[in-house]
Chains A and B, each alone.
Chain A
């Protein structure tokens, strides 16, 4: 009896908040409907998805941007994050303070992070071009040129979220068993060999956990891109998430916006299932 009283209301709310909107979104994605044109709603089944891959003139550009943004950030973060984890897992004085400070920017409001980066790369007064000018390199307009803007977008998140990868891998390092390393040393393995053949395989489940969360968040990334470039110049930094938002709330194309959001969820789900599989396989090995 008490259980029902305790469980009932919260679960009703969670259900209303998560399951209902999901199916409503799924429903919306099968309709051709636009808020700007009420009365023109029409059920088109998978029509939105067909339009997406066959006719939408921007879709494949958006997909390429998304792929570059996601895989660019995550691959750099894993490599740098692993390196930092090795460095920050050393048992030395003050290492806990160093770890806390390393993670601090991650907590900051993403919108403010976007603002800070716009300050830093501003061609007139930004610190980045000032440092370049000291080296006698003419600084470019970072957010004004397509390729550079994407590189800056990627750099901002590499700076911000690499510590997240680091902290997960540190947790993994601290729970590593000792015996394999002792055995490797007895067998005469060099530091590099024991890193490649002992540490990395043992850490691989943890690394895949970090990769999964980073991939999910990189696909979902919105705030700092919106503040830094809003998808520009042109649509060179517009990712799937921003594109779905723009379709739904700028063009008021409810049906197509929902379809894009669903498609994004589908991609994230597929990639997550793949990485979860890797986590489990690594755990068994």
Chain B
């Protein structure tokens, strides 16, 4: 091996090691935190910390037995995330299709609209929603929370689907139209099945957004409809934080999003940048 080649190999190994090290740093807080949920109470805060211990489920048992709000909050989060995602997808897909197939250049303005809702601090929507939902007697209801979350998800899904539908050639649809399908049949039988990648992106973005959302939830959820982030915040503010059960709860809360993220990360990232980069 020549000296130059040796040097190149050396640099490559070095950069590879640096990459691994940075990934480790990025994950270190999670890797340190997750095992705490499985630590026995007696060892939990031993100093120096015990990195090797016999894992126990006692923190989880404690959460299920003593923290009554846990099951309810988890159920609320599942309901809210599911319906926010489903309704946004249905309405956003139909509106997106109509946008893509209409002649006027509305889609372009829709993009600006998306960026504006992306820029607006949630505080702008929060007070009007709080007041509006009270007037409609919807404060603290699932419907109220789902509508609030659609501020973010619906414009995004509409625009994302519209830009995807625009890439589908219209000829396929015209031949179906000759065969006697109407626009709505075409949408659901032809356009939707070929747009699966965009639908997956929208689903993942809407789900993760509504699962993680905290600021709106602080105000629009009620006693019976608290979502998981609110439950965790309640844990923090109660006197004498029980760190073990808190760790167990936190782990159960981030697990679903991390799993979904593993399946398709691009969807979420694209959601964050509002489709600014394809």
Contacts and interface: CB of A to CB of B under 8 A. Distances in A.
30 contacts: A3-B183, A5-B184, A6-B95, A14-B113, A14-B155, A18-B151, A20-B128, A21-B132, A24-B132, A25-B128, A28-B128, A92-B12, A92-B19, A107-B258, A107-B265, A107-B268, A108-B212, A109-B254, A111-B214, A111-B229, A111-B232, A112-B232, A112-B250, A120-B29, A130-B47, A206-B277, A227-B233, A245-B123, A257-B123, A268-B120
Given A115-B250, A213-B273, 9 more contacts: A25-B128, A102-B22, A105-B27, A107-B258, A111-B233, A209-B277, A223-B214, A257-B123, A265-B121
Contact of B147 (A3, A17, A226, A264): A17
B54 interface: no
Interface in A203-222: 206, 209, 213, 216, 219-220, 222
Nearest to A83: B22
B119 A268 contact: yes
Interface string B138-158: 000000000100110011001
Contacts, number: 239
B180 interface: no
Contact of B253 (A84, A109, A206): A109
B47 A10 contact: no
B257 interface: yes
A125 interface: yes
A249 B123 CA distance: 10
Nearest first, the 10 closest Cβ-Cβ pairs linking A and B are A10-B95, A21-B128, A261-B123, A107-B261, A6-B98, A2-B183, A125-B45, A10-B91, A111-B229, A24-B128
A57 interface: no
Contact of A269 (B119, B150, B250, B262): B119
A50 interface: no
A265 B120 contact: yes
Contacts of A84: 22
Contacts of A90: 15, 19
Contact of B117 (A5, A7, A18, A272): A18
A47 interface: no
Interface in B106-131: 113, 115, 117-129, 131
Interface stretch (B30-38, B63-71, B195-203): B30-38
Contacts of B238: none
Interface string A154-184: 0000010001100110011000000000000
Interface string B28-54: 011011001000000011011100000
Contacts of A258: 127
A274 interface: no
A218 to B, nearest CB: 11
Contacts of B97: 6
B30 A105 contact: yes
Contacts of A3: 98, 101-102, 183
B23 interface: yes
Nearest to B211: A109
Contact of A10 (B29, B92, B243): B92
Which of B121, B182, B262 is packed against the most chain A CB atoms within 10 Å?
A: B121
Interface residues of B, number: 86
B194 interface: no
A107 B158 contact: no
Given A107-B268, A249-B219, A21 B250 contact: no
Nearest to A120: B29
B99 interface: yes
Contacts of B127: 24-25, 28, 248, 254, 257-258, 261
Question: Among the interface residues B22, B91, B97, which one has the most CB atoms of the partner chain A within 10 A?
Answer: B22
Contacts of A227: 233, 236
A241 to B, nearest CB: 6
B177 to A, nearest CB: 11
A116 B250 contact: yes
Given A14-B155, A117-B29, A220 B269 contact: no
Nearest to B30: A105
B61 interface: no
Nearest to B259: A107
A7 B98 contact: yes
Interface string B177-196: 00000111001000000000
Interface in B58-110: 91-92, 94-95, 97-99, 101-102
A7 B184 CA distance: 12
B6 interface: no
